[in-house]
Structure 1
Amino acid sequence: MKTVFNSLDLAAAVQELKSLHGMRINQIYDIDHKTYIFRFHSPNKKTVLLIESGSRIHITTYTWPKSPCPSGFTMKLRKHLSNKRLENINQLGNDRIVIMQFGVDIAMHYLIVEFFQRGNIILTDNTMSILSVLTPHKEKNVRFAVREKYPMDRAHEKLAPPTFDKLQEMKANAKKDATIHKSLLPVIDFGASLIEHALVLSGLAKNTKFSGDIPEDKLKLLEQNLLKAEEIFNEISTKGCKGYIIKQTVKNVDGTDIENYLEFHPYLFKQFENSQFSEYDTFNDAVDDFFSKIESQSIEMKAVMMEKEVLSKVEKIKQNQDSRIYELTVTQETDKKKADLIMCNSDIVGDAILIINSALAAQMDWSSIDTMVKNAQSQKDPVALIIKSLNFQTNHITLLLRDIYDDVYGESEPTPVDIDLALSAHANAKQYYNHKKYAAQKEKKTLESQDKALVSAQKKARTALKEIKTLTTIKKIQKPYWFEKFYWFISSENYLVIGGRDQAQNELIVKRYMTAGDLYVHADIHGASNVVIKNPSGKPVPIKTLNEAGTMAVCCSVGWDAKILCSAWWVTHEQVSKTAPTGEYLQTGSFMVRGHKNYLLPAQLAMGCGFLFRVSDSSAERHKDERRVRNVENIYEQSTSENKGTDDSRIEDDRQGEKSDNTSGVEEQTVRLEEQFETLSVSSKSSGDDDNENKDTISLSKDECDDSGKGQPLQPDKSASDVNRNDSDDEDDSGNEGPSLQCEEEKSDVKKDKLEIYDDDSGNEGPPLQSEEDNDLKQSDNKNIKAKQKPRNTNKNVNQQRGQKEEKQTDFAVPSNSKQAKETAPLKRGQRSKLKKIKEKYKDQDEEEKKLRMLVLASAGEKKLTKKEKKNLKNQKPQITEKPKFKKPAEVTQKVKEPEDLDELEQKIQTDLDALAVLTGQPYPDDELLYSLPVIAPYSTLLNYKFKLKLVPGTTKKGKAAKLAVETFIRNEECTQREKELIKTVDCQKFATNFPGKVKISVPISTKKKKNPAKPSVGGEETF
């Protein structure tokens, strides 16, 4: 396959590249260490030039993957060539060197590209002094390095075609094995294909020996055709040309045809007239199409080779089985023949055994016995004549035996037969018969197992061919998303969240990928990733997505291995700057954040791994609302619709508490809430252990409220929970049980929800949505959980709208009237015994021990009220002044760019963001799945995924954990055949790079294949 430009190709390419004159360089990128992309622009058009050192240079219309971090050489080119106009482009002499001039006068720079040997790219100033070189080296006495002068006389001039006399001289001086084609290459710089074209026109083959007998008329004809070749070269280099790609059709294993590109040329040469070819308007178009298809073509060819290798294994197994059967058949025939010969010549065989054994018994040495046999053979002794050799080491002799019936018919050629001296003639014959019988049994078993072996091999081959076909199809379809090189996930509300793996990526994410409307999330811990929430719409980002991004920032840091919890925070994109204060220096990946930080809830060290599937456009419609933004209303609606028709007891426990329709449930809850707060006893007092338990469980300590700083989103105003802060001397003993009981009820709810996450038999449905919302309100292990009261009443005469409004306002409020709460909140099943155990556990705890325990837990204790505040609270009717709110990001007022205003990178980002709708974690059985995409995300994001595993800090290494996760998903009994095929194609090494560190994997019971479904499970998860 041709992949490098020759002189003729370079001349054709340079002629077409003159269309770039007057255009300015907009940006420069590198694909790899030797391939670079130059983006040119003018008022009317944009053009992309691709240069591969030593190989090619052409204009491209295809999208090529760019390196995420530009190299030093790329930065040097950007520094000197950005926004400069291309003034001239020429081929230096007739050599494979292209020189491009940018700018004029003092600001002029030259870019020199070499296409011979390994190639090189050199940047010089207006005096041809080298500023930067891709590959520094030394050639004879000339150094190609910075500050050296580039030698312009390096290129050789154009060589004229050899005359007839020159050809005669070359023929006379040619080496014996030299071909005429190789001899002409250094003399004429036309390129190998054009020289071969002249040879074919002259009636000479490419491999004709130059030293051989070549007629003079053919040499004269060759001289004329070389002159015609020179005319072709001049025409191509001055007027331009069409492009041609030479193709070859290869048969696939299944009989389909595959087009294989072989070569590209600016002219249809004589030797390719009978070959398959494609014609293009310009040579540049042909080259661009050729190199863009090489990758796809190589994938197809590799697949064909793998398929042939698989089928050859089946054929080898079949041949091996046939050869074994043949060998066993031959062995049987040979053993039977030898046994028959021994029986036919039993007398003479017995005499030979007797004579040799007698000599051995007489203690004759082996050489003497051999001499005795030879003497007897010379005397024509019939017994000695049949002895061929003596093998005393194995106690055997070899006899030459003939069939007596063969002698009658004149057939000779005796058969050598090994005879055991320890056995008689008949015993030796029996031994050969036994060998024949054993070979027959082995042949029978081989024949029986042959069919099974072939069926097994063919089955494995079909499976392998199917996997190869799937992998080939996926590689053709799947184009890597730009965000796959970072930590990434798609939030529960369809926001793309990306994070840097290292300092370089942290720098890149903020500088290149954070745009207007995006939010920056970070954590106050060393090594935390720079996390960016992509928000192209500019609308406020929901708090759930912010918390998920905060979890990612904390987990992708040293806190994962150290098992340290901390709070994350977010700011808007305009608050992040690379400008450091005077006298300070910001390292790579570090940024200055100015203004107010909005702190999030402390994140748990819990990540998850799962799989997203790319569905076809026809199947994407049914998945469009899977990651929609959920507020209180649609969470309530969805939860009631999901539970419709399920167990009534679960609905009573988890949702409404009694059998009623949705509307009446909301109205009753609102009325109960009003009545509860009407009857709150502000002056009620409690003392003893129950009072301590109530304060410890319900009230948020000062540390909890203030630890995260001003920006913590959860900042409820003074509400009913503040009433519990009265001094214990002013409360009744009977006022303790209600709030304390209610808190334990809420704890039971949280625990039950956790079990439902792992012990969920609903398959793809995932846990109840209410659990997802509760999950957002979880604090770290060393902090308490603020309870959420759900009051009840039977009055249904309040309108629905007001009920919903009041319900929203009381999401984080806790009433403190114990009697009313006890009457309106009946105990759930099993909670009465729980309360007894709690009271039994803490019955001997006094106030001093309580304070010591709280001190150990780093609690700030209770806020002590002054006498004036107590008096005001007694006279004040408790009420909810405002719903506790999280601070939401303000709507971005900056104008979001239209698609036509976006540059290439922004367009690619926008395209991939729009394509998130076709990625789903909840595939339906009848969906058309194209490929799979492994994802590592906060576990709360993956709750509704079909394939999910929980990851917490542990000791399992990344690579092993990735393989274990893939194997677990494949063994899942709910995994369809298509899903297994797509999951198997995932590269575990790339998958492992997204793991935050060493992990412990927790498998949900619903994911693990249950071997004994009848046996109830004790726990909700299995870890390994």
Structure 2
Amino acid sequence: MDPKQELTSVDIAALVTELRRYTGAKVDKTYRYGDDLLRFRMRDFDRGRLELLIEVGTQKRIHTADPDHVPDAPERPPNFAMMLRNRLSGADLVNVEQFEFDRIMILSFERGEEMTRIIVELFGDGNVAVVDSAGEVIQSLETVRLKSRTVAPGAQYEFPDSRVNPLQVTYDRFISLMNESDTDIVRTLATQLNLGGLYAEEVCARAGIDKTTQITNTSDKIYRAIYTALESLGTQLQSGDFEPRLYTDDDAVIDATPFPLEERKQQNLDVTTYDSFNGALDVYFREVDRNPAAEESGQTRPDFAAEIAKKQRIIEQQEGAIDDFEQRAEAERSRAELLYANYELVNEIIETIQTARAEDTSWDEIRETFAMGAERGIDAAAAVVSVDGAEAMVTIEIDDMRVPVNVDVGVEKNADQRYTEAKRIEEKKEGALTAIENTREELNAVKQRRDAWDREDAKPDTEDNADNTETVTDKVNTGTEPSRMGPTDDEWLSMTSIPLQKNDDWYEQFRWFHTSTGYLVVGGRNADQNETLVKKYLNKHDRFFHTEAHGGPITILKASGPSEPAEPIELTAETRREVAQFAISYSSIWKEGRYADDAYVVTPDQVSKTPESGEYIEKGSFVIRGDRTYIRDVAAEIAVGIQCADETQVIGGPPSAIADRVPTMVQVRPGRYAQNDAAKLAYREFRNRFADESFVRKIASPDKIQEFLPPGGSDLVDE
């Protein structure tokens, strides 16, 4: 019996009831682990420290956790966690709710006048969206652009289509839904009423009804019994009258439920009682990864056919959405052209209504006037299909096409609104095109994983393979040029198990890279780091680089480490250009979408924090005195790669400096993809190139790649 990996709608309803007891708790910090797990550390004034875990990957869950068992904080918080900290540190939890009866939980936080909602989607591929008080998505773990809905930064959050809520449905609606079915009661409850299999069986058991009874053999008495059981279930979930249970089989966890279930009782499972459903889920998910069943299933071949079919279905949906956007945009342009082609008729309608409203004529009277005019054969009146006084809109029909018209503005403005709507739809189409390309890449990645699995299965002697891998690993060079003395680039990419090696270096808190001549370069990520770099790390023989444009990082070419004796730098033209390219790429030049600019270099004694008399220097800025050496027309371009020898880590910087240090890299220029989307594209590219996908997941998650991407839009460049 397989343990459940995802919470049901009933589970979420129970959790909402329990978590509402923590309203008023204050957020201390937020953390992100890997791609899918979030942790909210909070303080409840009655109960003390509170840990809330949210996971939306293979496991989909949300529950409080024992503080002694939460994962250690990551050494460096990824960007998503930093964004959450900026919005939520010190915020109060003010509400917890479930969207209809869907597997969606909404956590509302308030800090001063600022409201933030965390919308947790525990269905499908899973997602977490951070939404402001106006309903606009600030950031989400995944970008979703489908025909039915969009979840993307800057867009209004869109919930999935509404589903039947079995706990709130009226009796008449309940009977109607049940009678639409041609199967038995339990399947009808599971599908038509959205209860799912387990709780459909539970409702039948509570009602004392044979779950296999065909709908055609039901009666009002049976329906009444089932409906009463549904009402009882709803009341129990809202009141919090729970008796949480943890079910195990031979010490392997199988399920955690908010109350005892007849179905589980009939399976003769071992049962443990808990004081809270959150507590039961905490133990359940802590143990589920250690289940013998889970361990065994983890060794079986993935269902590649199902994954491929799923990706192909998504592509079909996205293709349909693109076709729909094209048709809608074309229709809006046609409406605009119809307004201009029938200018006098439309203008007559608008002026008639404006005159009537100026004389305080009611909308009902206006509607009646148009109806009578249509009967008399007046063209303008006959064109009016409907009148909406609440929105000050009329709908007119010309050449079998209906066009909404705002009567508060003229024909030109109405036509412009149609053109604007066409443009907005076309922008959504562009998003859908990006999404479909991403899905196609994911589909190719699944196929490559399948092919790699097939190749592994075809190998005749696994022990020989292990020996070969070990031999390659032994060749890892500890010198400065791993690609020459260790495995070749192709060998790194084809290795099925790459050993992890990592040191913590002082400069990793900043932006950094090593030049192709071996010098360390560090740059500030913000004004505070700019100040720190100059005051603490700028030494006698270093070099100070900056862009001509305002808004660039302080960039220092280090002659030595912080505690090492410094010697003069041999500043070659190649080194100078690499550092200049680094300074330009992480400056405002990139945000503005420009592809090149100038930078300059000076010595440390030319850098001062003392302004001229009467002037003021902003935090993170400095005064440069004396002559500057310029590096002209430097391209804004960086590369990101995965270093395998000496240290296993993501590195980034000028392509010429990165190329010899990694077996493969992606090059990036200013472009259209948001920083987090570009990071995901690069991550998928690396997963396609490396045979050891687990190595890529551990070393080069999208968040780690994003740390090396410039702020602003980016495009991946074909090498």
- What is the TM-score with the length of structure 2 in the denominator? 0.42
- What is the TM-score with the length of structure 1 in the denominator? 0.30
Q: Which has the higher strand share?
A: 2
